[in-house]
Structures are given as C-alpha cells and as structure tokens.
Structure 1
Amino acid sequence: MRPIDLAREHGLSTQAIRNYDDAGVLPPTARSETGYRRYTPLHAQALRAFLALRGGHRHQRAVEIMRAVNRGDTESVYRLIDAAHIALLAERDTRAEVATALGALSSTAPTPVHGRPLTVGELARRLGLHPATLRTWETQGILHPVRERATGYREYGPDCVRDAEIARQLRQGGYPLPQVAQFLDSLREAGGADALSAFLDSWQDRLSTRSRNLLAGAAQLDTYLTMLDQTEPSAAGER
C-alpha cells in the first residue's frame, strides 16, 4: 500500500501520513529498493486506531498511546487509557455536584441590595452569621469582596451579597465549602442560574460525546492490538 492508499480512506494528505509515520503513530515501515514507504493492512488499522483515539484522548495523548503500543509497552498504554477514564469520571462527578447544588437552591430569589455596599458586619447580620464565617468563605474562594481604599475594610456589593446568600443556602443543605466555591464559580462563569442550567445540559452532552469517542477509540485499538498479536515479528517490525 502507498501513502495515498492510507490517506484516501480518511480524507488526509499523503504528507499527513508521512508525518504520522515519522511521529511513531504507525508501526515500523518497510521501504522499497527505491526508498518508497510500503504500508500494509496493519498500518491501515494503526491509522484507524489513532484517529479514533484522538476523538476521546486528544491529539498528543493519542500519539503517546500509539507510540507505546508500537514499542510493545502495553502497561503504559493501559495506564494512559485508564487515566483518561478517571479524569472523565471526575469531571462527570463535578458536573453532577454542580447540578445538584443548583437544584438545592431555594426558589426564592435573594433580595437585591440597593445603595452603598455592605460591611462585613452588616452582611453577617443580614444572613444571621458570624463575621468570621464570611472571612472564612473569602479564604475558600466563595466570596470576593473589594477593599475600601482609605480604610482597607471589606465591602460587599450586590453580586457579593447574592453569592453570600446562595452560599448560606447551600451550607444549610450540607454542602462542604469546596463544593460551594465550585458551584459559585460555575454560576459566575455561566452568567446566572438560567445560563448555568443551559451550560450544564451542554456539559452533559460533551461528556456523553467524549465517552462514546473513548469507546470508539478503544474498539479500534483493540482491533489493532489483535492484529499485532497475530503478526509475526518479522512482518510487524521491531516493537
């Protein structure tokens, strides 16, 4: 098989095939007497496996996996794949925690603050908390008050008061401080509860897509590994 034969199946250029070959994505390649690369069905399957892996693992990690396969280091292959699934599970758990926190919020919107920002004591009285609690929330990244230039005192504007009231509700629901901070970060990034709900739906879709991509990559890689096991070393090249 020629580079063009591998490239045509995937709509790639022949230069891309040569680049993947040089990068170690493909198994060692024999050359003709005139120096042309000669590919086999094994190389074609290696390319399918790499392109499928890239969908779930991204480009560089897919390259690392294929290099490990081609040098016979299956332990590294399995570790790289396992790490991707662990990271995806952690992200899935994070998304679930944020969604649960959103659902735990009271349907009653916080009362807007008008006028000047509140001091730490005023906000503490509004929430029925000790000022030290608000300072702890600040160190945990839950609240981000500004400092008054002349005195250095904390000032809590409308957004900060809203965050404090949400944090109080979540804490009353038993959520630990790191999860409260995580939720508020997601809320700020999304731009509000409605936007966050839409963001969570989109996030779930991305997680599902990546899970399917990981499965597709594993299937193609398994086929490649089976072909390698069935190929004589002399035909497969140095692994």
Structure 2
Amino acid sequence: MPENKLSLLHTTNATIYESNKELETPRNILKKIHMSKISKEAKSQYKAILVSARKRKDDFPIPNRHPWHCKLAVTELLNHAQERQEELKEGEPVTIRLLTGSLTNHVYDDELKNGLQKFLESGGKVNIIIWGKFLADTVDNPLIKFQNNYENLKIRFSQTTEGGVQLNHFFLVDDDAYRFEAPHPYYPPEEFTDTHPEISARIVFNDKDSGTQLKIFFDDLWRVMDDLYFSQPVLSSIS
C-alpha cells in the first residue's frame, strides 16, 4: 500500500485514540469489577455494566483489556446493532464495521457467529477487514465458513501484517457505538486465552463524533484495499 495513503489513515486513527485516551472512566465502574481476574461473578458484573450502558446510551468509555472482556463487549455491541436493525422501518440497514488482525475463535466463536447470523438475516450489513495474511490463520473460523451464504457479509484481507502495529482495531456499529483498541503487535489466533493478550481498549455506546471518524477511516481503508488489489475474496470452495 502506498506509504502516503497508509500514513493518512494511521494519522486519522491515532487522533481518535488520543481523544478517547483522555476520557476518564467513572470510578464506580472500576470499583465494581476486578478487571484482571476472570470468574463467573466477574463476567456477570462486567456484562451488567455493559448492558446498563447500552440501555442508557451512555457516552462514557468502559475499559476493556482482556479477550474475555472483548467477547462480552462485542456481544453487547451486536445486541445493540440487532435491536437497532429490528426497530428500523426504512432507510439504510444498520452496518457493523470490524477492523481486526484476525478472527480468533477465542472471541469470534460459534455463539457470536449465531448472533451475527441473526443480524444478517434481519437485513443488517457486516463489513470486515482482516489486517493479516490471507486465510493463513483464519480458515477455521465460523464466520469465514458461512460468509459465502450472505451477500450482506463482506470480508477483505490485507494479505500482509505490514503497518498493522500502527492500526487501531475496532468494532463499530453504524457511526456511534464501538469498541476501540490501542495499537498493538500482531498476535496469532492460537495465542489467545481468556486473559492473554492484554490489549487496552474502550467501549462506548454513544459517541457520534469519534464514531463518524471511525466510519470514514474504515470506508477509506476499504476503498484503498479495493483499488490496490489487496482485496482478496474468500475462496468459494470454503463452506
């Protein structure tokens, strides 16, 4: 990818991260849960925080660091997208945009696949950019295996990890609700556990300013990948 185009995208993305990094997370959230420990109680508490924030459409960021946090956060964002799609009477469908280094089964498992499948069947759209080598470590993921069944699910591969450490991965619903990660090294899917790797992130259910920037960033990156032949459709033989 031409260095100037990628640099422009990195600059836009870094600006969003810096603005989010300055936001203070309410102390009461941190008091309710031990962020580094996983237990049935911790999962229940963290899910309750996410559900409450989603229903109230809170505009403050909730900390999100471990893969188990990520799965719960993405699940709640998907619930948010599903509710919005079901309430939609006309206009453009609700769109999920995901930029990631891989679709690790530790997060994007069958349970999450079922939720995305329901969202797609209700008319929602899902666009995914995987900034990694084509299918090398992603072929067994449930999303890859059924994506050819849905015209409203599209996946693009960069076919390289170059420049990936400068990219902020994110999961965005329309232009106002998202999970947003700090830049980090590439981690192979097989390295993921409930608590590794630790990736600093934020989830916000009502932030149209940053959400709009993320939407523009994603759509620009999508077009650049198409223009520069980085787009690689998933093999039709996979089912």
Task: Verify same fold: TM over 0.5.
Answer: no
Task: Tell me the TM-score normalised to structure 1 length.
Answer: 0.23
From the two aligned structures, give the one with the greater strand fraction.
Answer: 2
From the two aligned structures, give the one with the greater helix fraction.
Answer: 1
Larger radius of gyration: 1
Task: Tell me the TM-score normalised to structure 2 length.
Answer: 0.23
